[in-house]
Amino acid sequence: MGFGNPLVLLGLLALAVPIVIHLLARRTSRPVDFSSVMFLQPILVRVARRHRLKEILVLCLRCAALAALVLGLSAPVVRPGGARSRGGAAVAVVIDGSYSMGWQEGGISRFERARRSARELIGSLREGDECAVLLTAGPRPPPVLRPLRSQALADLEAAAVFPGSGDALEAVRSALALLRSSALPNRVLAVLSDLGEREWRELAGKASPALDLEGVSVVLADLGGGESPNLALREVRAATPQLVAGRPIEVQALVENPGGAAAEAAVALRIGEKVVAERKLRLAPGARTSARFPYVQPEPGWVRGSVTLSPDALSADDERFFAFRVAKGVPVLLVNGMPSPIRYLDELFFAKLALAADREAAGAALFEAAEASPADLAAADLARHRAVVLANVAEVAPEAAARLRAFVEAGGGLLVFTGEAVRPESYEAALAGLLPAAIKARAGPPSDDVFVSVRVLRPDHPLFRALGREADLSSCQLFSFHLLEPREGSQVLAATSWGTPLLVEGAVGAGKVLLLATSADADWSNLPLRGAYLPFLHEALAYLAGRGLAARELVVGDPGAPERPGIVARAEGGEEAFAAVNVDPAESSCRRIEPEEVRSHLGGSRAVLLGSGESLARAVEDARIGIPLSSGLVWAVLAALLLETFLANRRRRTRPAGGPRD
């Protein structure tokens, strides 16, 4: 608090006048002879206490009126943020630049409202003042305090909403550092934001260190809280695990209603610039749903497009881009341990038939199988494949074993069939750390007319769950198999009716390994002849191949990411590749940090919190030179005088009950 005319405060000494008059008036009484005091005595008892209180009240009101008059003449001002004088001021305007500020209310965005307020504020600055405009999000050049209003206005006009999130705490810190560097006596920090949780969580976090706000007046303008309907796209992804040319791809868009009102919109799938599918949906506040669009890409290559929503209050979250690579098929390397010129005797005869079977049915084969000999394995480029099948390979050379290990650790899948050629000691020596079980001796029923059946131990495993009823392995007959000794960390998915492990799964690095203790052909079992063989092999390889490399998606604002949403080209292993660039969906959330909480971190009660419609320029002016109290004090004088007049002249309604009783 300060005073424009502090010398006038000496006038407070005049407060002694009414007090002295009051005391003197109390002490000098004149004697009066009266016929009788019989009426006065009871009245005195009844009225005196009330009158004494009234006298004190009237005296207090007179003193208050006098004090208010003197204070009013001394031109008092309240400086909430610690402004020191009427000298120049350094003003830092921090504007929330995150894309939630693009939220439209009444045809104008929050950011534009912030810009208007800041424009008015900068226009109200005086000669000698300094001003800096800072954004919380987007590329931020080093902030500078501009001595000229025109420069600050130019900075302001150049500011724009960034299609990403920002860090309000960092911007506030930068602004405070800037203000501390100024030599001007008054420092004002003006913050304009919708107080979105994403933007302010750092500041509001409990671990956030206290800001040094000494000598800085803070004005916080809350621009949030709109209730306009808005739907947001949270995610767009390919729901189909394997994206293969000619086979249906399901594009899934997750739509959310973060607003406070029910909203409806049209969701459209765009490939390139063309809308290929569209549907309408309606969502209650806080609800979310998925919109699924089937799409078939006839040729291998990149599918680039976006999912869009019809325009609403916030446009930034109405489009999400995607870029999927569609392969000719899932590349699988089949290593044949016992090839044969007679097709049906070939170790991979049944496997190759199974992998090519859907070409006729679906028009395109899911798997693109390549065949190699065990000798080629050491030199094969495994990185081109998503899964490798070892079928009755007698032994694995150390170089090949190392390659296989690296392949699996990088996320590849390995399916191992045993067979009569397999030399367990070789596997143990080369693949001990890769296989989920140690291969032991060969076993089986003593004669051909006796067989061993299969029991699925983990029907809930993804492999068997996907197989469904067709995967009735119980009809399988095993004539021969290897005894397996599972290693620690592996799990047995199926066993023989003898109780020995038949199918064991293990995980190595990012990849998975399945070891089946029987052959891929019909030598050791009738599995290749059963209906379950094809789906089993498909699901096992799809399971091992995984979803492949996830589609690359960049978020605006992340290090190295572009500053605008869209699709960017990039080089990947010498080939052209693409990545989707999208906004951070969290920014479109309506969750806010409570204004009072933000205010508590910005100086608490010393900070001025502005609601909608309140002038930022006026608040900054008040914070800078203080809020003048003179007009309020004039009203206080009037009120005190009116009250004093009323009290002093108030006549209580009297009852004719005084004096002697009848």
Partner 1 sequence: MRRFLDPQAVSRLGPLEIVARSVVEGSISGLHKSPFHGFSVEFTEYREYSPGDDLRTFDWKAYARTDRTYVKLFEEETNLKAHVLLDASRSMEYRSGGAQLSKLDCARYLAASLAYLLVRQRDSVGLVVLGGGIQRWIPPRGGAGHLHDLLGALEEVRTADATGLAPSLHRLADGIKTRGLVILLSDLLDDPAAVRGALRHFRHNRHEVVVLHVLDPAELRFPFTGLCNFRDMETGQRVELQPQVFREEYLAAMEGFTSGYRRFASESAMDYEVVDTAVPFDRWLAGYLHRRMARD
* Residue 48 found at the interface with partner 1 (CB under 8 A): yes
d(CA 625, CA 88) in angstroms, rounded, equals 10
Asked if 652 touches partner 1 (CB under 8 A), the answer is yes
H or E element, residue 508 = strand 501-508
Bridge partners of 505, per DSSP, are: 491, 514
Is position 36 an interface residue for partner 1 (rule: CB under 8 A)? yes
Q: Which residue's CB is nearer to partner 1, number 25 or number 450?
A: 25
x/- binding map, residues 51-80, to partner 1, per CB under 8 A? x-----------------------------
DSSP state of 558: S
Q: What's the rounded Cα separation, in Å, for the pair 91 and 186?
A: 8
Decide whether 638 or 648 has the Cβ nearer to partner 1: 648
Cβ nearer to partner 1, comparing 36 with 631 = 36
Q: Does 460 participate in binding partner 1 (rule CB under 8 A)?
A: no
Q: DSSP of 98-143, one letter per residue?
A: SGGGG-EETTEEHHHHHHHHHHHHHHH--TT-EEEEEESSS--PPP
d(CA 333, CA 385): 6
* 596 to 635: interface string for partner 1, x by CB under 8 A: ----------------------------------------
Segment contacting partner 1 by CB under 8 A, of 21-29, 282-290, 569-577, 582-590: 21-29
Pairing of strands 76-78, 481-486: unpaired
Specify the residue, 29 or 631, whose C-beta has the smaller distance to partner 1. Answer: 29
Report whether 501 contacts 492 (CB < 8 A).
yes
Under rule CB under 8 A, residue 31 binds partner 1: yes
Contacting residue, 8, 9, 12, 47, with partner 1 by CB under 8 A: 47
Q: Counting contacts by CB under 8 A, is residue 650 touching partner 1?
A: no
Buried b (16+ CB within 10 A) or exposed e, 382-413: beebbbbbbbbbebbeeebbebbbebbeebbb
Three-state SS string over 186-247 comes to EEEEEEEECCEHHHHHHHHCCCCCCCCCCCEEEEEEECCCCCCCCCEEEEEEECCCCCECCC
Handedness of CA 98, 101, 103, 109 (dihedral sign): negative
Which residues of 583-662 form beta strands (DSSP E)? 608-610, 627-628
Indicate the pairing of strand 454-456 with strand 491-496: antiparallel
Could you say which of 206, 274, 469, 651 contacts partner 1 (CB under 8 A)? 651
Strands of 424-465 (E only): list them: 437-443, 454-456
Number of Cβ within a 10 Å radius of residue 73 = 17
Nearer to partner 1, 53 or 239 (CB): 53
Query: Does 26 interact with partner 1 (rule: CB under 8 A)?
Result: yes
Options 1, 46, 233, 447; binder of partner 1; rule CB under 8 A: 46
Rounded distance between C-alpha atoms, residue 603 and residue 214, angstroms: 9
Is 631 or 654 the residue whose CB approaches partner 1 more closely?
654
Candidates 43-51, 57-65, 102-110, 368-376; binding stretch for partner 1 (CB under 8 A): 43-51
Pick the stretch among 27-35, 148-156, 372-380, 404-412 that binds partner 1 (CB under 8 A).
27-35
Task: Please identify, using beta-carbon distances, which residue of 35 and 631 lies nearer to partner 1.
Answer: 35
CB environment 215-246: b (16+ within 10 A), e (fewer): ebbbbbbbbbbbeebbbbbbbbbbebebbbbb
35 binds partner 1 (CB under 8 A): yes
Q: Which lies closer to partner 1 via its Cβ, residue 52 or residue 343?
A: 52
Q: Give the range of 169-177, 313-321, 443-451, 653-661 binding partner 1 by CB under 8 A.
A: 653-661
Task: Give whichever of 29 and 150 is closer to partner 1, judged by the CB atom.
Answer: 29
| Candidates 13-21, 38-46, 138-146, 539-547; binding stretch for partner 1 (CB under 8 A) | 38-46
Least spacing, CB of residue 645 vs partner 1, in Å:
15
Burial bucket for residue 13 (CB in 10 Å: 0-12, 13-18, 19+)? exposed
DSSP 8-state secondary structure symbol assigned to residue 652: P
Q: Is the separation of the CB atoms in 534 and 354 below 8 Å?
A: yes
For partner 1, the closer CB: 61 or 414: 61
d(Cα 368, Cα 364) in Å, to the nearest integer?
10
Query: CB of residue 644 vs partner 1: minimum separation in angstroms?
Result: 15
Q: How far is the CB of 20 from partner 1 (least distance, A)?
A: 15
33 belongs to the binding site for partner 1 (CB under 8 A): yes
Q: Which of 7, 30, 206, 575 binds partner 1 (CB under 8 A)?
A: 30
Which helix (H) or strand (E) element contains residue 171?
helix 168-180
Place of tokens 């599995």: 527
Q: What is the closest distance, in whole angstroms, from the C-beta atom of residue 63 to partner 1 in the complex?
A: 20
Q: Is 25 in the site for partner 1 (CB under 8 A)?
A: yes
Tell me the number of residues near partner 1 by CB under 8 A. 34
43 scored as a contact of partner 1 (CB under 8 A): yes
34 forms part of the interface with partner 1 (CB under 8 A): yes
Residues ≥6 apart with Cβ < 8 Å to 330: 242, 244, 366, 367, 368, 386, 387, 541, 542, 545, 548
Residue choice 1, 14, 19, 41 for contact with partner 1 (CB under 8 A): 41
Report, in Å, the least distance between residue 642 CB and partner 1: 21
Minimum Å gap between C-beta 40 and partner 1 is 5
Which of residues 274 and 652 has its CB atom nearest to partner 1 in the complex? 652
- Least gap, CB of 641 to partner 1 (angstroms): 20
Q: Could you say whether residue 447 binds partner 1 (CB under 8 A)?
A: no
What's the closest the beta carbon of residue 64 comes to partner 1, in angstroms?
A: 22
Compute the distance between CA of residue 312 and CA of residue 94 in angstroms, rounded to an integer: 27
Sites for partner 1 among residues 545-584 (CB under 8 A): none
Return the ∠ at Cα 600 (arms to 595 and 605), rounded to 5°.
100
Which positions lie near partner 1, rule CB under 8 A? 25-26, 28-44, 46-48, 51, 651-652, 654-662
